[in-house]
Chains A and B, each alone.
Chain A
Amino acid sequence: MRRGLTLALLAIAPLAVAEPLRDSGASVVAKCLSCHMTDAGGVDIVGLAAIEALPPEWPFLFEDAFDLDGDGIAGQMRFVSGGGYPLAGRFGEKLAAGRFEDFAEIAAGAHGLSISGPEEMARIRAAFEILSPDPGLPEPAALARFEARGCGDCHVTRTFDHDGRTYMPLSDFLLHDLGDGPVRTAPLWGCPACLDTPGHEAAVN
């Protein structure tokens, strides 16, 4: 079934990349992919399975909501509704969702889309799981330069293991306010070029 879905996704991929489908009669899955697919044929949400496997203690390793350590960096975690029990936010640049399905609902609402029900949601999840690129580990020299610039203070270089593999999200999954309201430290895994790209050092400093 998964193989069939992969083939179907590959079939619509060129169309999805070529033109946004928001107003067409295509399925919500195709509409999502029309914006989220990259030229490389994957989606722009890297490491979906790994995000879900992020250890629950992860943000606690780095949280310093009041900058008690005096390093000039205050980062705080965000809890979001889990329909009756709070969940630590891990999806979205505002950490607005703890589960993929919740995040998909937020995104759909923001784009004027309506997910018809659980079955469609399951198809969306399957599509993103299949097409989400696997995050590799960064090249050591680039990582050293990245850390030397101080980027590792928030884009932390700590790793975690899951299913026999090692992951380095390059994010503390905390909210930081750099002047435009709190935003999550973007996970830079799967973006080797980002390690050598000047970011927001000026704002941070």
Chain B
Amino acid sequence: MRLTFAAALLATLATTATAQEATIVLPKGNFGNYNPTLSAKEAVLANWEMAASGILAGEVLGRQVVKAADDGASFKALSRQAAFAVDTMVTRYNAAAWLYHENPGVTPMDDATLQGLVTAAALDCDAEDCSAEAQTIRAAFAQASAELGAATEDARGEIVARQDRVDAVLLSEQLAMVADYLESAAWGSDLVLTEHGRDADVLADRIVGAVALWRNVEPYVGLTSPEVDDAINAASTNLLRTMRRGLQGVERIEPESALLADLTVAASNLAAEFRRASALFAS
């Protein structure tokens, strides 16, 4: 009977968690009384998963563009598909910037690859023969998806390395990571896509990717210290408000700009609160 259930469960897991099956060991769980609420450990791992799966989404979309090119899609169809893919690829890549920054073993995309990707996705062609442009799109997306694929593997390695750690250690580490990232200059520098007028997009995606971690772990901070919980919510709201107000319609962000200074203050305030939260779980 146990074997039957194990077999059924394995079959289920095989279909529901294809992205995870290669490296991550999914626990079998207990039968009965299922509660969807994430444990503290699961909440932390969900944040890792969100970043890793986001990078994976970019890789998959890139491969689909390559496949469309190989299948002989018309330039218009290829261009349309590339335009959809590039937004998600860039957004998800930047949303995972905290993970790249805090884990040097996860290799970021080469700047030239990222620029080539955005340039290729914007290519236009009204000529009868657009094969050269299609080839440029194919090459750019193939390179980008290869780099994202390698990063996905590396990120999964980071997740696997954390599977046996206890809840408090993981919570403390992740809150410290996001604090480090927001305190650093990393989120506001090397915007890479300046020439494409996408500074604001890059910056917003990086900030939101870091702030989004809070959603999953908040319940556990709140249970431990409602005061820190409230402080993080206030600082987080302030950062997002500053970001929304400041980035509207902005294409290029100068390193010495008042906007970047305002965002740095707001990000540092939030980082300080995350640091306090991290200390709650440090042994």
Contacts and interface: CB of A to CB of B under 8 A. Distances in A.
B26 interface: yes
Contacts of A77: 50
Given A56-B56, A79-B50, A122-B5, A99 B12 contact: yes
Among B13, B163, B201, max chain A CB count under 10 A is at B13
B49 A117 contact: no
A19 interface: no
Interface in B61-115: 61, 88, 91-92
Given A61-B57, A61-B88, A100-B12, A86 B46 contact: yes
Interface in A90-107: 90, 96-102, 105-106
Contacts, number: 134
A183 to B, nearest CB: 15
A123 to B, nearest CB: 10
A188 interface: no
- Which of the listed residues A80, A87, A98 has the most CB atoms from chain B within 10 Å of its own CB? A87
Contact of A118 (B1, B38, B61, B91): B1
Contacts of A81: 34-39, 42
A137 B34 CA distance: 34
A52 B15 CA distance: 6
Interface string A122-160: 100100000000000000000000000000000000000
Interface size class of A (residues with CB under 8 A): 35 or more
A99 B16 contact: yes
Contacts of A102: 34, 36
Contacts of B39: 81, 84
A102 B30 CA distance: 10
B1 A79 contact: no
Contacts of B2: 118
Nearest to B17: A87
Given A82-B42, A83-B29, 17 more contacts: A56-B17, A61-B61, A68-B91, A81-B37, A85-B20, A85-B24, A85-B45, A88-B49, A98-B16, A99-B12, A105-B32, A106-B36, A109-B33, A117-B31, A121-B8, A122-B4, A125-B8
Interface of B: 1-2, 4-5, 8-9, 12-13, 15-20, 24-39, 41-43, 45-46, 49-50, 53-54, 56-57, 60-61, 88, 91-92, 163, 201, 204-205, 208, 212, 215-216, 240
7 smallest beta-carbon distances between A and B, as pairs:
A83-B29, A118-B5, A84-B27, A57-B57, A56-B19, A86-B46, A60-B57
